[in-house]
Every structure is written in structure tokens, then in C-alpha cells.
Amino acid sequence: MSCEQQPILLVDDDEVILSAMEILLAEEGYSVIVANNGKEALARIEAQAPCLILLDMRMPVMDGWTFADLYRRSPGPHAPIIVMTAAHDSRTRAEEIKADDFIAKPFDIDHLLELIHQYAD
Amino acid sequence: MTTGEQINILMVDDQPAKLLSYEVILGDLDLNLIKATSGREALEQLLKQDIAIVLMDVSMPEIDGFELAALIRQHPRYQKTAIIFISAVRLTELDRLKGYESGAVDYIPVPVIPEILRAKVSVFADLYRKTRQLEALNRDLEQRVQERTAALEANTAQLRESEERFSIILQNTSAIIYFIDADGRCLHVNRGFEKLFGVTNDEARGQSIYTMAPAELAAAWQVSHAHVICENATAEFEEVITGPDGVKRTYTSVKTPLFDIAGMPTGIVNVSTDITERKQAEDERAELLRREHEARLTAESATQIRDDFLSVAAHELKTPVTGLRATAQIIARKLQRNDMQAPQWLSDGLRVIDQQSERLTRLISQLLDVSRLDQQKLSGERTLTDLRAIAERLIALFSARTSRHALTLLGDAHVKATVDPVAIEQVLSNLLDNAIKYSPEGGRIDIDVRQIDHEYVRLSVRDHGIGIPPEKRSDVFERFYQAHANEHRSGLGLGLYISRQIVESHQGAITVEFPEGGGARFVVSLPVNANALEPIAPHDATTV
């Protein structure tokens, strides 16, 4: 699974965050697809398998827990998931869905990029 | 008295030959024969012993038979003694005999026929014996009657005394007591009953108790009384009775069956005790418990609602801040990357947006932390953590935010402790934040991380700023406290409060010192392994 051929999937219900991250990742040379909730994310994955998923937890329509559960049940291979959450204990959220990593909102973009490079490269 | 008792017969005659012949005649009659040859001798014998029969010759010198008999009769003991005269019949003498008719007197004519003498003496001896037996029987009977009477009197006195005591209790007790027969007719009711139902004992006696109470109570009584009679056992019932004042009171009524000798139930004795107050107290207590429980549930649910709200609010607040911060950072990054000659004010402005959004994030987190502190669940899982690594990371982060301060890390190369890394990082972050905030002129900030001994580690943050005025030092760890609220208003005054709670939850301590040369030094002591220590009670007062 490589982020040279495959996009990074951003899942967040906040448009500002989505667009900011989209710009940032595009600048870094990544291909990016976005989804506003879990359901949309599953549809995007159906169309194109991502190399990495950045996942918000609290979202309308389908939240991060349900998405992660359904995604893991789907036939693999599965991309690593990095949880991005504004919850107090991001680590607990990440453990709940057995995510590969987590980052607390609001984040420092340098920190975020460091994390993404770690999984994408 | 014994039937074998010797019966004494006194034979009086001046002629010894005659005495001898009487002795022969009476010899086989089982009598004690005493002989006297004169009236005087006879009297002597009579005084000496109990004599049943006197057999005497009428004609004797000195005192004759009649004179002797008169003397004998004068003595109370011998008034009924049998006297048999022996004499030739003369009319004048027969007349004199009549004077003794009241006593047992007989007469034997001369010549004495032995069979007649024997027969007469036998009759008198028998009579004497029977009389004595009868007397003894009478005495015995009389004694027994007396004894019985005395016992009966004693019993009666006891019974009366017991009855009096019983009556005193019956009349003076606050309980409602009644005795009824198996058909519910009153045998006795006490004063308590009289007052409650407005009927006297005399009026009640013989009347059905069910006519004295309101229909509802009477029906309840009929059921409970039937139960007691049927089961033939004491039972307790709760009864509500309306008094003459119209007030309903609750009684506990103990109903006990009464039996006859055969063990068959003949009635019931009822003792009712007023338990209204006790019942009220019980009800009030139950009501109080219920309300307390309700209040606790309400409080718990209110706390839950508040926490849920804060959790959602924090999330909702952080989301726009995330967008804000990311956008500001991206713009700054683009400017830098593309080597655009951005004006200074733009770079400064973007840095302000970044810093302020970060501060906003901290405030939101603190709000959430305080609500979590109340539930004592701030500290997460503890793992063996390199405290120096945390300090290094934070120093890098804070150094980027300030150019006026020189942050220096001192202490040991490796300092490890079993702690919640997120919580301890928060403590150190709070301390560094304060150090920068309260040394507005800049200056050195020394962060010291070292192992004290094999049990404790110490983190300290020393600034050279404005310090804290002595009068305000005792409150720095209190919630919402700000020592410099007027001049340097910023934050919620929660940082040190939260830090102290975290440190104490690790069984550690946080203190503040004010060294010579100004500024403040906050010192955190933590056990190397808090899990191995006994938990200590949280402090109320500040630990300064």
C-alpha cells in the first residue's frame, strides 16, 4: 500500500478542517480524497482504496466507531487509521477502534505532517 | 388416741373380799382394775389418773357411795364419768339415784350376778372408748377445718392482692385492653377502651363488642378474632382507630386466645398499643430516605448532564479552533515556503492567531478537566514514563512560543516513574505556562528533573518573574484562583488547581517556593511507583 499511487482519505464533518488539510496534503504532494462522514467514506473506499485514513470520530450520519467497525469487516487489505479527535482522551478513542495512531485536535500542522509521513512514506 | 389404751376402772368397797370377787368377775375384760377400800382412797386414785368407770358400794363407813359420787361429779373432769352403784334396793335410795340421771349412772342390785356386772361394765367401757375415739376424731377434724380455713384465707388474700395489682395495671395502662368471649361479648374492658369508645365497663359487659366500633373496624375485628380463635394462637394486627377527638391513630393489637381447662378457646384478650408516633417517625424516615435517594439521583443525573454537555461543548469548541489554527499555520507555512516577502505585520498576525487559538484550546481543556476532576477520573492509565523526555518535548514547544525567555533543562539524564504520561505532561505544561506568563520581562526559566532517592522523583520549574505576594501565596492551588487577576488577567485560574489534583492522585505533592532573587519555584514530588503506595486522603487545604 503506497501513498504514491493511492490517495489519503480524510474523514471529517467540518468543511474548514477538510479544506485546510486538503490544501496542506496537496502541497506535500499527496493525492487526497475527502468524506463528510463514515457512510461517505465507505463509498469513497469502494471506488478507490486509500493508503491512509485520517478519521474524525464524532460525525453525523455515521460516526467514526461505526465506520471503523464496518471498514475492518470489509475485505482487505486495510489502510492504517489515524484518529483525529477533539475528545479529551484521544488515546482512549484510538484504542476503542484499534486505530494505528491518534492526534488531538486542534493540532499543530508540523506534528500532523510528521505523523502522516510516518505512515505514508 | 390409740384404741389399745388402757381403760381404768376404779372399784371401791370397804370389804377387800368383795373387791377380790369383782376382780375375778372382770378379770378377762381387758381393763385396768384399780382397787380402793374407802371413799378417801378412791378420791386419791381419781386425782392420780384418768378413770373411765367407777364401781362402788353404796354403803361404806366414813363417806358412803352417794356422797362419794357427789364429790366425783363436782370435779369437771369426772362430770360424765360412768358410775355404777352396787346396793340392795331400797326405795329411798332409788329416789336419790334419780339425781344422777344426767350422768352415766347405773345400778346393780345385790347379790351381784357376775354376768350382769360384766355386761354393764363392758357397755360403759365400750361407751368410754367410743366417746374418746369420737372426741379425738372431732379434734382432728376441727384442726383440719382450721388449717383449711387458714389456707383458704391466705389464698383469698393472695388472689385479692394479685387481682388488685392486675386491676391497677388494667386501669392505668395507656393500652386499650378488652376481654371477650368466643362470641365477641365483652367480659371486661379497661379504662383505655372506655375512653376510646365512650362506653363504660358496666355498660359494655355482656354486649357484643362489634356494636361498639364503627362498621369498618368491627368487620376487621371479626376477621382477626375469628383468626385467633381458629388458629388458637396469639397474633398481632395493625388497626387504625378513630378516637373521640376524630383523630385517626394506628395501634398494634396483640390478641391472645383464652382457654378453658380442656384447652378449648373461650374468648380473647386484646391489648392494643398506640404506635401512631412510631409509625409516623418510620414513615418520615422512609420519606426522608426516598427524598435523599431522589436528590442523589437528581444530582448524579445533573452531574452527568453537565459532563455530557461539557464534553460536547469542548468538542464543538475545539472543532472551529482546529480549522482556525490549521488555516493560520498553513498560511504562515506557505508564506515561508514560497519565500514570499510577507510584511512583518502579517507574520506577527498569523503567530498571534496561532498562539491565541492554542490558548483557547487549553482553556477548553481545563474546563473539561475540572468537570472530570469532580468525578476523580482525570488520571488515566499509568505506565513507566521518561519524565525527562516529557520535559524536553515541552521545552521545545514552549521555546518556540517565546523569544524573551531562556528555558534550560537541568537534572539527571534519565528520570523514570510510573505515571499517567498525559496527566503529568499537563502538569509540567501548566507550570511552564505560568512561568512564562508571570515573568513578562523575560529571563531564565530553569526546569529541573531529577531522581531524589529510589522512591521519589522531583520536577521543578523556577522563573525569575514577579512571583506571588506573600498574602496570596496560600491560595495559589485553589480553584479559580488568580494571584494577579487585575494586572495579568488570563486563563481561568484552574491550571494549578488541576495540577495539584493530578499530582495528589499520584500520591505526590506540589509546593511553591519563593527563592531570594525573586520569581517562584514550583516543585512537584512524585513517587517512582505510585501504584505501590497506599492511597492517601486528598487534602482540603493547600499544600504550599
Q: How confident is the model at residue B337 (pLDDT cuts 50, 70, 90)?
A: confident
Q: Chain B partners of A92 at a C-beta cutoff of 8 Å? A: 380
Structure letter (DSSP) for residue B516:
T
Task: Calculate the alpha carbon distances from B305 to A14, A92, B295, B299, B374 in Å.
Answer: 25, 21, 15, 10, 13
> Out of B322, B327, B368, whose CB is closest to A88?
B368
Q: Is A92 on the interface with B (CB under 8 A)?
A: yes
- From B334's Cα to the closest Cα of chain A, the distance in A is 9
> Out of A24, A27, A105, whose CB is closest to B322?
A105
Partnered with residue B237 across adjacent β-strands are B253
Q: Is A28 on the interface with B (CB under 8 A)?
A: no
Q: Across residues B32-40, what is the average pLDDT?
A: 89
Distance of alpha carbon B148 from alpha carbon B415, whole angstroms: 107
Number of A to B CB contacts under 8 A, please give it: 67
Using the predicted structure, report yes or no on whether residue B65 has a pLDDT greater than 90: no
Helix (H, G, I), strand (E, B) or coil at A103: strand
In Å, the largest CA–CA distance within chain A is 35
Contact at 8 Å (CB) between B108 and B88? no
Q: Is A21 on the interface with B (CB under 8 A)?
A: yes
Contact at 8 Å (CB) between B389 and B372? no
Answer yes or no: do A106 and B324 touch at CB < 8 A: yes
B residues 359-398 closer than 8 Å to A (CB):
361, 365, 368-369, 372, 380
What is the pLDDT at residue B497?
83
Q: Is A26 on the interface with B (CB under 8 A)?
A: no
Distance of alpha carbon B457 from alpha carbon B450, whole angstroms: 6
Pick B143 or B479 by higher pLDDT. B143
User: Lowest-pLDDT range, A33-47, B163-177, B180-194, B470-484?
Assistant: B470-484
Partnered with residue B186 across adjacent β-strands are B180, B205
The tens digit of pLDDT for each residue in B374-419 reads 555 555 678 888 999 889 988 888 887 778 888 889 888 888 898 8
Answer yes or no: do A16 and B311 touch at CB < 8 A: no
The tens digit of pLDDT for each residue in B104-124 reads 678 888 788 888 888 888 888
Pick B171 or B99 by higher pLDDT. B171
Contacts 24+ apart (CB under 8 A), B58-66: B58/B85, B58/B86, B58/B87, B58/B93, B59/B87, B60/B12, B60/B13, B60/B14, B61/B14, B62/B38, B63/B38, B63/B39, B64/B39, B65/B12, B66/B93, B66/B96
DSSP sequence for B283-314: HHHHHHHHHHHHHHHHHHHHHHHHHHHHHHHH
Q: Give this prediction's pTM.
A: 0.44
Distance of alpha carbon A104 from alpha carbon B442, whole angstroms: 30
* Cα B162 → chain centroid: 29
Distance of alpha carbon B65 from alpha carbon B501, whole angstroms: 139
ipTM of the prediction greater than 0.85, yes or no: no
- From B321's Cα to the closest Cα of chain A, the distance in A is 6
What is the pLDDT at residue A121?
73
Query: Which of B317, B329, B350, B372 should we substitute to test contact with A (largest number of A Cβ atoms within 10 Å)?
Result: B329
Select from B498, B499, B517, B513 the least CA-distant residue to B544: B513
Contact at 8 Å (CB) between B497 and B479? yes
Q: Across residues B415-436, what is the average pLDDT?
A: 88
